Amino acid sequence: MSTSKKFITNVFKPEEGYDLWAKHYDGDKNEKLAFLNTFDESVIFKMIGDIENKKILDLGCGTGRLFKGLMRKEADLYGADISQEMLNVASKKYSKVKFVKASAYDLPFTDDQFDIVVCAFLIVHLNDLEKAFSEVYRVLKPNGVFILTNINQRKAPKLTLNSKEEIVIKSFYHRPEDVIKALEDVFFEIEDEDYVNSENGNVWINQIIKAVKK
């Protein structure tokens, strides 16, 4: 009687999971990275607008996916991520960006410091949106802009390491209306909201929001 081997997929918190996944994130076979690039960059940069001479924080910057676009004009750029390994990859690519290891719940910056905070595909890993949004509100200058994305991901994908081990990085599903409410509860004003939909238009894939600190 033969038995098949049962593989166990290990679930990791974001810091541990992305430390393991960092060296794979920019790889040619990373379909997730290619997928993200196809539907958020044009909307994000359109919402951001003019960045010249602005102080900008990419919160949850990972390996620096957005910095290529953010460096198109002179700006004072910062990147923050909970994974040191992701930051190590990013810092090798973007020497002019100031990187810091930090949680979205506890940012090591002074009040009213940034003109713009960008937060792409981070909140899927946050269970307390109001706590994180309060920190963003604190570090933004008055009339500062907060651009964030909310991916429609009900179940975290399995990621395969070089060791063939499968891992899952813990995530949380947020309904679009709950994201809006959390922003408004910490006194952000919603200036714009856009959706990227599936090819047939029946399913939303990504919610992109522009909020302002008034």
Q: What percent of the chain has pLDDT over 90?
A: 78
Angle at 54 between CA 51 and CA 55, to 5 degrees: 125
Instruction: Identify whether 103 is part of a domain.
Output: yes
The count of structural domains within the chain is 1
Average pLDDT over residues 41-52: 90
- Contact present, 99 and 86 (Cβ < 8 Å): no
Q: Which pLDDT score, from 0 to 100, does residue 16 have? A: 97
Q: Which residue has the higher pLDDT, 3 or 61?
A: 61
| Residues 99-137 pLDDT 10s | 999 999 999 999 999 999 999 999 999 999 999 999 999
Name which of 66, 186, 192 is nearest 132 in CA terms: 186
pLDDT band for position 2 (50/70/90)? very low
Segments in 26-128 forming alpha helices (H) = 31-39, 41-48, 67-70, 84-93
Average pLDDT over residues 140-147: 98
Instruction: Identify whether 28 is part of a domain.
Output: yes
Instruction: Identify whether 3 is part of a domain.
Output: no
Average pLDDT over residues 36-51: 83
Q: Round to whole Å and give the CA distance between 137 and 139.
A: 6
pLDDT band for position 4 (50/70/90)? very low
Q: Is the pLDDT of residue 181 over 80?
A: yes
Instruction: Identify whether 43 is part of a domain.
Output: yes
Residue 42: domain span: 10-213
3-class SS at 134?
helix
Q: Which pLDDT score, from 0 to 100, does residue 3 have? A: 44
Instruction: Identify whether 181 is part of a domain.
Output: yes
Q: Which pLDDT score, from 0 to 100, does residue 35 have? A: 62
Name which of 14, 96, 28, 114 is nearest 62 in CA terms: 14
| Residues 12-24 pLDDT 10s | 999 999 999 999 8
Quote the strand ranges of the chain, DSSP E: 10-12, 55-59, 76-81, 98-101, 114-119, 140-151, 159-160, 166-169, 188-197, 204-213
Q: Is the pLDDT of residue 140 over 70?
A: yes
Instruction: Identify whether 1 is part of a domain.
Output: no
| Residues 150-176 pLDDT 10s | 999 999 999 989 888 999 999 999 999
Average pLDDT over residues 1-27: 78
Instruction: Identify whether 2 is part of a domain.
Output: no
Angstrom CA distances, 124 to 72, 127, 192, stand at 28, 8, 20
Instruction: Identify whether 131 is part of a domain.
Output: yes
- Contact present, 62 and 25 (Cβ < 8 Å): yes
The domain spanning residue 67 has which CATH number? Answer: 3.40.50.150
| Residues 59-85 pLDDT 10s | 999 999 999 889 888 899 999 999 999
Q: Which pLDDT score, from 0 to 100, does residue 128 have? A: 98
| Residues 202-212 pLDDT 10s | 899 999 999 99
